[in-house]
Amino acid sequence: MIELYTAKTPNGRKVSVMLEELGVPYAVKAVDLGKGEQFAPEFLALNPNNKIPVIRDTENGQVVFESGAILIYLAEKYGRFLAPAGSPQRMAELEWLFFQMASIGPMMGQLFHFRNYQGEPQTYPLERFSGEVGRIFKVLESRLAAVPYLGGDAYSIADMAAYPWAKLGGFLGVDLEKLPGVSAWLSRIAARPAVERGINIPG
């Protein structure tokens, strides 16, 4: 059994989507970020960086934090959604997984913050992060205009990681109509029943 400590954020939804895709039993442990439950001693014992998601594998006691690491752990445990070690496909999937971790999430997260929580508007950070988000979506378009999934021909953890963030692009001012490859990919991922279920966890 996998215990999933999560909340309604793009990072949390990556893992619930993966678990739904795998179809394995798991228990949801909702963490109320607004109440600061991520700072409770019992949660910090799982992740000293006070961030969701976290999983605990009750079969072996393994605790994993950081969403990318969790996706890799689950893919390797269950042998799905990550190509075999040593294959070019696996390296492509990991490249795009880490592109999400290093670029998509951080830049979109910063833009969301400065658009909604900065107090008095500040021109520089808005221009800086709007520009970076726009550039990142152009990178995604260059990839998804050529292949159906980020890792190539196969749906993988790279897509699961990027989708919950990329689906918010329009909300952050990205003109998705000018990005047909990204738009088609978003529709392709959204049509998966497991994604539809996972994106709404916790309920």
pLDDT tens, residue by residue, 21-79:
999 999 999 999 999 999 999 999 999 999 999 999 999 999 999 999 999 999 999 99
What is the set of domains in the chain, with CATH numbers? 2-80 (3.40.30.10), 88-195 (1.20.1050.10)
pLDDT tens, residue by residue, 87-124:
999 999 999 999 999 999 999 999 999 988 877 778 99
- pTM to 2 decimal places: 0.96
Mean pLDDT of 139-145: 98
* CA–CA separation, 143 and 148 (whole Å): 9
Asked if residues 185 and 5 have their Cβ atoms less than 8 Å apart, the reply is no
* CA–CA separation, 5 and 13 (whole Å): 11
